[in-house]
């Protein structure tokens, strides 16, 4: 399944972000701790490297991610020049409050009190940028919702006399190169439902959970997953939760509804602390893509 989800406002948002970055000291990139690389927009990296701006990479929603895998990602990112990575939950004010101090460490030239430290929050839709902004300001200034692309325009606010912070709209890139990235983004609700088929995303998620977290699946739904594949898991969830197509004879399973049950349980953390990718699995995926035969040209 190829996912292309690039709402029109994102073109202007990218242009505006590039202009603002020229006046920024530190880029705060917010990623989903459950899929840090899949949720990292390559255009953000290109922009900040072009401007030679340091990056505070926040692995947000870390309370929903596998802590062992999160630590592996922190080690991976903190080995990169100009990058400081930390895991946070922006819903916890105490963790969000650490952000300005971390940014100061990345821009020591702004510690003289002459010019304010200017920070820019960037990231894809629905990773928690607005929640972070509200936590930093200790009041609701940015719209928050469990839907991608809630924020539509930039907003700059002073954090006292010595620093300012700019929040930006969620920024996607025009085409998602790797199918698994598209599925992970859809499973984590960074891509709108109009771009995907829920049952396909749920089947992908179920297959991934079978490989890495089978015990969590078995415990949540009371099922024996030892002989199942992804489709089988969705069907088993449908049976357990009574997901039946209304008006159909024979009790036909409603796989779309069952898929949403599985996706909602993952997104809310009811399945447990789950990471969809690790540095090792990412490297394996990229290596497999390198050796895979190219798709044949489509007839015109």
pLDDT tens readout for residues 190-233: 887 666 788 899 999 999 999 999 999 999 999 999 999 999 99
Is 197-289 the same fold as 9-167? no
Q: Minimal CA–CA distance to 234: which of 198, 180, 195?
A: 198
Tokens of 271: 């399945």
Tokens of 131: 């929640």
- The 3-class secondary structure across 188-218, one letter per residue, is CCCCCHHHCCHHHHHHHHHHHHHHHCHHHHH
172-192 mean pLDDT: 88
Could you state, in order of their start, the residue ranges of all structural domains in the chain? 9-167, 197-289
Task: Output the pTM of the full model.
Answer: 0.87
Strands 155-158 and 117-122: unpaired
Which fold would CATH assign to domain 197-289?
A: Conserved Hypothetical Protein Ylqf; Chain: A; domain 2 (1.10.1580)
pLDDT score for 160: 81
pLDDT score for 251: 79
What architecture is domain 9-167?
Answer: 3-Layer(aba) Sandwich (3.40)
pLDDT tens readout for residues 7-34: 555 666 677 777 888 889 999 999 999 9
Beta carbons of 108 and 23 less than 8 angstroms apart: no
84-103 mean pLDDT: 93
Q: Which stretch of 75-79, 178-182, 221-225 has the lowest confidence by average pLDDT?
A: 178-182
Look at residue 126 and give its three-state secondary structure.
coil
pLDDT tens readout for residues 94-127: 899 999 999 999 998 877 767 889 999 999 988 9
- Average pLDDT of the chain to the nearest whole number: 87
Beta carbons of 56 and 31 less than 8 angstroms apart: no
Question: 6 falls in which pLDDT band (50, 70, 90)?
Answer: low
């Amino acid at each position: 399944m190829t996912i292309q989800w690039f709402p029109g406002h994102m073109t202007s948002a990218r242009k505006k972000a590039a202009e603002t970055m020229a006046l920024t000291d530190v880029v705060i990139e917010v990623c989903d701790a459950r899929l840090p690389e899949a949720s990292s927009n390559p255009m953000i990296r290109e922009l900040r490297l072009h401007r030679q701006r340091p990056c505070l990479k926040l692995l947000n929603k870390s309370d929903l991610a596998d802590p062992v895998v999160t630590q592996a990602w922190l080690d991976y990112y903190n080995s990169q020049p100009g990058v400081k990575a930390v895991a946070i939950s922006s819903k916890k004010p105490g963790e969000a409050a650490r952000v300005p101090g971390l940014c100061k460490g990345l821009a020591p030239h702004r510690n003289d009190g002459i010019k304010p430290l200017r920070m820019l929050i960037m990231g894809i839709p629905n990773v928690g940028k607005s929640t972070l902004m509200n936590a930093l300001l200790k009041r609701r200034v940015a719209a928050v919702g469990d839907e991608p692309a809630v924020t539509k325009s930039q907003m700059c606010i002073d954090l006292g006399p010595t620093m300012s912070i700019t929040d930006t709209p969620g920024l996607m890139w025009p085409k998602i190169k790797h199918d698994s990235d598209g599925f992970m983004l859809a499973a984590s609700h960074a891509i709108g439902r109009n771009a995907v088929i829920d049952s396909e995303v749920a089947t992908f998620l179920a297959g991934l959970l079978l490989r890495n977290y089978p015990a969590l699946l078995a415990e949540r739904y009371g099922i024996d997953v030892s002989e199942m594949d992804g489709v089988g898991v969705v069907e088993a969830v449908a049976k357990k939760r009574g997901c039946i197509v209304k008006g159909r004879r024979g009790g036909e399973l409603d796989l779309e509804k069952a898929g949403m049950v599985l996706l909602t349980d993952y997104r809310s953390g009811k399945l447990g602390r789950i990471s969809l990718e690790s540095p090792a699995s990412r490297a394996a995926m990229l290596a497999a893509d390198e050796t895979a035969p190219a798709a044949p040209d489509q007839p015109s």
